[in-house]
Amino acid sequence: KTVKNTYKATTWQIKFKLDAVEPSGSYKLRLALASAAQAELQVRVNNPDRNIPAIFSTGLIGKDNAIGRHGIHGLYWLFSVEILGSSLVTGNNTIYLTQADATGPLQGIMYDYIRFEGI
């Protein structure tokens, strides 16, 4: 919520270090969402700029009252996001998760787990 009583997108950062990266390889980001309420989750790697297209977007999902918790009818969402090795660097990396649809106080996402895998 902003000082003008409007709402804006929220971005979380997952920072991690890689000792080695296979540039031609493929990695998986597993996102298990416990619930979503009129939300859109966008994933970016090593560049938080929202003017650049996300490598993954859920689109608008959920009518589960994830924030209000007025019921027990949440749905489980599982996403596997392919991340190309060329998007990663040896050393410090950051995955940016943005809840992009922000027009009211009861929109949001609750995650169950987040896992990053090299395959």
CATH of residue 57: 2.60.120.260
- Count of domains forming the chain: 1
| Residue at 69 is within a domain | yes
| Strand-pair category, 77-84 with 61-63 | unpaired
Give the domain range for residue 78.
10-117
Name the DSSP letter for residue 60: S
| Residue at 3 is within a domain | no
| Residue at 63 is within a domain | yes
Q: What is the mean pLDDT of residues 34-45?
A: 92
pLDDT of residue 88: 97
Looking at 12-21, 46-55, 96-105, which range is the least confident one? 96-105
Structure tokens that stand for 93 in this block = 């990396």
| Residue at 91 is within a domain | yes
| Residue at 21 is within a domain | yes
pLDDT in tens, 55-110: 999 999 988 776 776 555 567 889 999 999 999 999 999 999 999 988 888 888 88
Sign for the CA dihedral angle at 66, 52, 55, 46 comes to negative
| Residue at 2 is within a domain | no
| Residue at 101 is within a domain | yes
The count of residues in the chain is 119
| Residue at 111 is within a domain | yes
Which pTM does this prediction carry? 0.89
